[in-house]
Amino acid sequence: MTPCTRSRFSGRESEIGMQKINELGKVYKSDLLVIGGSIAGLATAIKAKQLKPDMDILVVEKGYAGFSGQSTRAGHGIALNDAGGTPTLTTAEYLVGSHTPYMSDQELLLKYIPRKTESAQFLLDCGVSVGKNPDGTLWNAQMPHRLWGMGGIDITVNESLRKHALKLDIRILSRVNIFELLTAKEDGRAIGGIGFDMAHGECNIFRAKAVCLCTHGAHFKKAAGCAGMFMAYGTGLGAAYRAGAMMRNAEFSTQSDNIQVKDGLPSYGAYNLLHNGKGDNISAKYQPGGGKIDGVSAELAIGMRTEVENGNPPIWADLEHPDMLYKIVSAREPEANARVLPNKFEWEELVDEKTAKYRGALGLQPEMTLHFAIQVEALHVDHKFRTCVPGLFASGKMTAAGCSYFGWTHGDGVGNAAVTSLFAGESIAEYFSEDPGMPDLQYDQVRRHKEKIYAPLHRDTAHSHYEIWNRIEELSHDIYIALNKSEKVIHAVLNEIEELKKIVPLLSADDPHSLAKCLEAADSLLAFEMVFRAADMRKESRGIQYPHYRSDYPAQDDKNWLKWINIKQGTSGEMELFTEDIPMWRYPFRPEGYEIPEGHAEEYYVDRARC
């Protein structure tokens, strides 16, 4: 017999260029390349395939598809619409005003909000274990505010989606990490990607008619199940950025949570129950609006710190008098648990038993502390989840800030992936309603990317990716850097980033795993830089859920900053930032005293009294 050749997947290309590319690596061909095989990647692929069954879809995942990705580690709830039929505008008004005020793309918000329950039903129809009532209908926990609902979803979500995708004849490639996108010479549209397989380091080249990125963003948090690594490194963001995609809202990247000191888990919903050592309710003291808001504001976080510094420790949560939110959402209410996620809790029980964790010993007055996570999810997409690069779509968390949704609620980790997948899947199907064609790959581009990707393997320098990550971790967990920013701090961090960038070309690797780490660290740094460049530019403070807080500009400045900050790679490789007016004149909800700027007219007509 003839030995198996590596270029077997290339089809019957006659062009010399393609033959030369085959020599660079194993070539996979498909109509649509989906990068990232967690919930967003799989759900987007499924939605697109359902609408366009003839499409040949290849999903590529760096871990084991179905068993990796953030949704296999999280999985508590999934956001639903309120079962009572609360009008979209009512919910939108709350979200626009409360979370990251007025930064939302309200038109997207209005399209997005009504689809929450639909997205959960979509997952359910794909065989995902979503919490159900005994009669088979979706279990929907009524939230006290009735603005949205909450369903349960199990950690087996990706496993179920993987099965469903296979049933629909979707192709799924595991253990291949893609680091760069490939574009067409003619119009710069996305037509593939390049990376390597994590087991052997073999170069893999992907050729497609369109690409969808579903890789999470960068998430500098070390969570349980991540084996001491960050939850996401930003390689998808980096690849998109270098291919010409635009980023938006990078400054709104810090998530602050109250976590229980004893078990390190967030106590969702206890934001208004925090007390200091003297027994004073400090939520009421610091939280804007007297502690009624749903999230940790920058003010509360800084206040917690102040209380401890002023000699009033410990900070604790009064769970003996829980609010409704805690009762429903928290992982500790038995009936809700049972309804929501049997597998997750079975697994946790086993783990807890083995690690002698503190399950059940938490008590009703747990000591609380703060936890910050910088998560850069700034890839900008339009209402059809198209990036600025033609043929490049995106869904899931990496677009969470970039699409200016800012309606983030509990249950939106999985929920956002599901809803945005519906949008992206539909949009991709539309893109394929006429054959977009498959332009030739550019040999020089493929070769250049390959050289860059493999470069750390050929270096004999002693620098490790940990130098970058450890510093990012230290910085992003420092309250004065991650949360309470000032020009002085930001400039110091940017200077440090410039120093760290000098290490990037010196990183060295000796196997596929460490090679991936080198490339990931470079993109982590890029994502981190975006946050601070944008934070430098935004000279105001705004937001609770993903706050941007500047101690030198502590007030929300609606006069000057109803703007989005966009980031693109400039022609000479530098980071270009520019603002864009938020088209409030098209939106229903505007700050008090807002005046439509010159050159624009009222474009939203609604009897606001009825909302």
Binding site for other proteins (CB under 8 A): 1-4, 8-9, 28-30, 56, 58, 65-66, 127, 129, 131-136, 139, 154, 159, 162-164, 166-167, 169, 171-174, 199, 338-339, 342, 350, 353-354
CB of 214 to other proteins, least distance (A): 16
CB of 536 to other proteins, least distance (A): 43
CB of 134 to other proteins, least distance (A): 5
CB nearer to other proteins: pick between 66 and 413: 66
CB nearer to other proteins: pick between 178 and 535: 178
- Shortest CA distance to 606 belongs to which of 581, 582, 589? 589
CB nearer to other proteins: pick between 39 and 173: 173
How far, in Å, CA of 194 to CA of 26, rounded? Answer: 10
How far, in Å, CA of 213 to CA of 395, rounded? Answer: 7
CB nearer to other proteins: pick between 9 and 594: 9
Question: Do the beta carbons of residue 130 and residue 152 sit within 8 Å?
Answer: yes
Q: What is the Cα 329 distance to its own chain's centre?
A: 21
Q: Which helix (H) or strand (E) holds 203?
A: strand 203-207
Q: What is the 3-state secondary structure (H, E, C) of 427-463?
A: HHHHHCCCCCCCCCCCHHHHHHHHHHHHHHHHCCCCE
CB of 272 to other proteins, least distance (A): 30
How far, in Å, CA of 511 to CA of 368, rounded? Answer: 41
- Shortest CA distance to 251 belongs to which of 516, 539, 504, 49? 539
CB of 149 to other proteins, least distance (A): 17
CA atoms within 13 A on the CB side of 433: 5
CB nearer to other proteins: pick between 204 and 249: 204
Question: Do the beta carbons of residue 319 and residue 300 sit within 8 Å?
Answer: no
Would you call 443 exposed, middle or buried from its count of C-beta atoms within 10 A (0-12, 13-18, 19+)? middle
Q: Which residues pair with 387 in a beta bridge?
A: none
CB nearer to other proteins: pick between 127 and 188: 127
CB nearer to other proteins: pick between 354 and 458: 354
CB neighbourhood size of 359 (10 A)? 14
CB nearer to other proteins: pick between 77 and 402: 77
CB neighbourhood size of 588 (10 A)? 18
CB of 199 to other proteins, least distance (A): 7
How far, in Å, CA of 42 to CA of 333, rounded? Answer: 31
CB of 172 to other proteins, least distance (A): 4
CB of 132 to other proteins, least distance (A): 5
